[in-house]
Structure 1
Amino acid sequence: MSIISPPRDSFDHRDPLTSSLSASYAGVVAFIAVANEGSFSRAADRLGVGRSAVSRSVQKLEQQLDTRLFLRTTRSTTITGEGELFYENCRPGVERILQALEEMRDLREGPPQGQLKISAPHGFGRKVVAPLLAEFRVHFPAVALELLLEERAVDLATDRVDVAFRDGRLEDSQVIAKQLIPMRMHVCASPDYARRHGLPESVDDLAAHACINQRLTNGRLQYWDFKIDGYARSITPHADIVVNDPSLAMGAVLDGQGLSQLAAYQVCDALRAGTLVECLAHLVPDDRGHYLCYLSRQQLPKRIRVFIDFMTTRIRALDLDCSTIELNARRQSAAIPMLAAEAGVAA
């Protein structure tokens, strides 16, 4: 008995999944790379193949879809409307496949490697995150780092951010949020300001003081948060100076221009050195934190895992919540009325 093999086109018709994947996968990968890089040449470099190979793969995909995905000229490559729709549908699946391949490669090849994109607020990013990156690179030189400072809460998936540092109270249930340290908010002034004007003993006393506030990215002024008799209370004091960066607010306070409510990581060193004094320490809220956020994935690339572990260990060791100087700060606050009285100022 002889076995007659079916014609090739008959096999393809009976097994459309196999034929579709074999014909399309290379084209989809090439298409995603071109869409991400905005250029066939840069996509080829990213994929480690020749530009002509990328171009052929995309052309075959366009023929299969009977749709123009890019508009090409000698100077530019622009994705079409149909291309954008196809990109949004394909990208999650391709990224999961690439992630799986990358994780397996990490397991085989040892040390963490690849690109790591990080987002952080301006103040925390400059003061805390950025100084630690050099040490991280010493331990993991094969990991390339990109740090973006911005106040908005980035969408980790859409903005392609691997790890985001966030401050305050988190409500995003789509990410894993690991609290690094509590975020304590302290009302501070310079000793010179305290001697000249005294310090408030209650939240209501703030109305009689020069306040320095911050304008947030959404346009509103920052609330000053307190915990009074176990209840949260937020106010927006009248401000003589408004800035849009925490370091500027800190500078104005150090210059003796008024009071401001600042995060502990900003003021800890100054409180220890005595260049700032704290008031209303007994009203500091305790419902905020500094968080390290990443997408809810069961398996993270090794470069993300080691970064999370490194930052968690280093930041917690810095004592940025002022816990070790809280008692001393309260003693300083208690001493200020006497200093003010000696200078002839009613506290």
Structure 2
Amino acid sequence: MSAPALRFLAGPSAYAAIRQHGFDPQAITAMVGASGGPKFLGLYHLDRAILRHFQRWYAGRTRPLHLLGSSIGAWRFANYARRDPVAAFDRLWALYGDYEWTRAHDSARVTADTEALIERVLGPTGGTEILAHPYMRLHVVAARGRGLASLSDKRTLGRLGFGAGLAATAGLNLVDRRTLGLFFERTILSDPRGRVPGDWRPLPTRRASLRADNLLDALMATVAIPFLIDAREIPYAPRGRYRDGGIVDYHFAVPDLAAAGEMVFYPHFSAEVTPGWFDKALKGRRADARVLDRTLIVCPSDAFLASLPMGKIPDRHDFERHDNATRKDLWRRTVAATERLAEEFDRTIEADGLAARLEPIS
């Protein structure tokens, strides 16, 4: 018998509720989508399977389901809230997976290519569909620069100043994550029909409305990796230059995204939840069971990851590691392998077997 492809982990309250009463999808009131660029391909068919179950679980639902994402997580959830979400995922994979990158591409070229990609995925009706969804409420996180981190990196002096700001951010973050607020302010661009809950302390946080005429800017800002994709201004949001939302919320270590008796559903590519991008190398800085008290994480197992063509899910360094033809082939084979995740998720849900497979988050 092959090793399981999926793991199901839950914080204390979610664990107790599922073990005692079984898995109740109606208890889900929020979902989280992490940063990670091409890592979303490691969840490709799992996302599609989840969406198929949503059609059954939530037919006629009007109670809000908050979709909170940074970077590629926001792009995934923009697709979730489409009229035909599976077709939107297929467009994203086709365009993203087929991208031709060379070392000659500068940030202006990558920015233009990225904008053209998301415009094609959204199409002429994307913004209207997302903001009119009967129950899904999209929330996009971006990081607004402050001080040196607010400088433009388009000119030499600005690049030097902005680089110094990033270096200071990284250095001070080693001491205390709260210092991140000196250089970046979290901005949550939300569907105006409802605010996402959560205890967003201690980082400074502002809110703005997501609109059909600033959705593209928000989705570009949240993937604006420094020195790779240009910072973005967002109309109807606090004035400034916005960058990748993963800087402040890489995997979202945010308490109280769901109220008592409710649940956060987190399809994730890892069993670990890392607060911010600058925390990646800090093994002691991971969200614990208290922060994830009402969270259910569904993620690939280590055995599944080891079985993939690259022994891991895709990441953006694959663009540099492989030529375009090799990378595309590896990614296609990886995406095909994620059908196993979807099949196992389907079997577990349909057999009402999630409670038996549940692991507590340590």
TM-score range, shorter chain: under 0.3
Larger Rg: 1
**Higher normalized strand content (fraction of residues):** 1
- When normalised by structure 2's length, the TM-score is 0.24
Name which structure has the greater RCO, CA cutoff 8 Å, separation 6+.
2
**Higher normalized helix content (fraction of residues):** 1
- When normalised by structure 1's length, the TM-score is 0.24
